[in-house]
Amino acid sequence: MNFEILKTDFEDGILTITISREKALNALNRQTMLELRHMFETYAPGLEGLNGVVITGAGSKAFVAGADIKEFTSLDAETGAALAKRGQDIYFLIENFSKPVIAAVNGFALGGGCELAMACHMRIAGEKARFGQPEVNLGLIAGYGGTQRLTQLVGKAKSMELNLTGDMIKAEEAYRIGLVNHVVPQGEEVAKAKEIISKIGKKAPLAIAKAIECINAHFNEGKAAYQKEYQNFGALIETEDMREGVAAFVEKRPANFKGK
Ligand code: DAK
């Protein structure tokens, strides 16, 4: 598949994906969603030496201003539900990706855009970033996981407030309530995301993948996730990287992890 809307750059083990529909504030139309699926199902998993992924929006105004509202007409209940499920499945690919995926939020992250940022493992906001779930203004609710992930990230009270009022919040408020990991000067979001991925890239890749799996399991499997944690812990104990990590500590040298 050729990417028309997603622009990619792969450097130093970091894949940077820029959603490029600047004139529509990077709104997610069908083509963008197809490309996102291909990106996380096929393209990114096939990249040799990948340490992590950064997702950002083109231009200085928007990360993603939502699903493309102009495509909403002529949907019935069945196709609407099917399209929402398709979007959710794409976001699950991102959430369950075995390498860290970080949203570099450079502007408006609304509706499906806020949901995309929340499907990523972390969020870095520029000072001008704005977050919101304004679907109620359109007679809708969030359809790509926004009622669930916002609740997971910021708790029930704030999730209720944001999902029911459709209010937009500023980057500092998003940081205060735990929606974003860091707020940085405008334009430095991608650099900060890359800095974090570079740090993670020095750790044992199998351990990183298992940690992501266990943290996600908390929300999907409840208490059974503890079982996943001790099983994954056991699996990691037998890896070459674990032996290397321990040996490096004892020998007072940096570890050289191989993902084995
Ligand atoms: N979709 C399509 N075009 C959009 C857009 C969007 N979400 N957001 C902005 N644009 C377009 C505008 O129409 C305008 O295009 P032209 O008129 O120049 O052709 C251009 O981007 C620039 O926007 P503005 O002129 O409005 O720029 P402003 O600075 O004045 O305002 C804004 C920026 C972000 C406050 C404003 O654009 C805005 O309120 N945008 C809409 C935000 C929003 O409500 N987003 C949608 C959230 S609901 C579903 C699954 C999921 C969803 C829905 C259905 N199914 C499976 C059926 C999810 C829905 C959502 O995401």
In this prediction, residues 50-77 reach a mean pLDDT of: 93
Could you tell me if the CB of 168 is within 6 A of ligand 1?
Answer: no
Q: How far is CA 187 from the centre of its chain?
A: 19
Contact yes or no for 93/37 (Cβ under 8 A): yes
How far does residue 64's CA lie from ligand 1's centre (Å)?
A: 9
Distances (CA, A) of 148 to 138, 198, 222, 234: 19, 30, 14, 31
pLDDT of residue 234: 85
Could you tell me if the CB of 109 is within 6 A of ligand 1?
Answer: no
Could you tell me if the CB of 75 is within 6 A of ligand 1?
Answer: yes
Q: What is the pTM of this model?
A: 0.95
Residues 225-243: tens digit of each pLDDT:
888 888 888 889 999 999 9
Angle between helices 77-95 and 112-119 (to 10 degrees): 30
How far does residue 220's CA lie from ligand 1's centre (Å)?
A: 31
Determine which residue's CA is closest to atom 21 belonging to ligand 1. Answer: 24
Could you tell me if the CB of 24 is within 6 A of ligand 1?
Answer: yes
**Cβ count within 10 A of residue 65:** 26
Domain map (residue ranges) of the chain: 6-188
pLDDT of residue 73: 80
Residues 150-166: tens digit of each pLDDT:
999 999 999 999 999 99
Please list the residues that pair with 35 across neighbouring strands.
none
pLDDT of residue 140: 93
What are the φ and ψ backbone dihedral angles of 253, each rounded to 5 degrees? -140, 160
Out of 49-58, 65-74, 94-103, pick the least confident. 65-74
Task: Return the closest-CA partner of residue 110 out of 161, 157, 31, 163.
Answer: 163
Distances (CA, A) of 208 to 84, 98, 142, 172: 30, 7, 30, 29
pLDDT > 70: what percent of the chain? Answer: 100
| DSSP letter for each residue of 169-186 | EEHHHHHHTTS-SEEEST
Q: Choose the residue to mutate in 5, 20, 25, 60 for probing ligand 1, maximizing ligand atoms within 8 Å of C-beta.
A: 25
Of the candidate CATH numbers 3.40.50.10320, 3.90.226.10, 3.40.50.300, 3.40.190.10, the domain formed by 6-188 belongs to 3.90.226.10
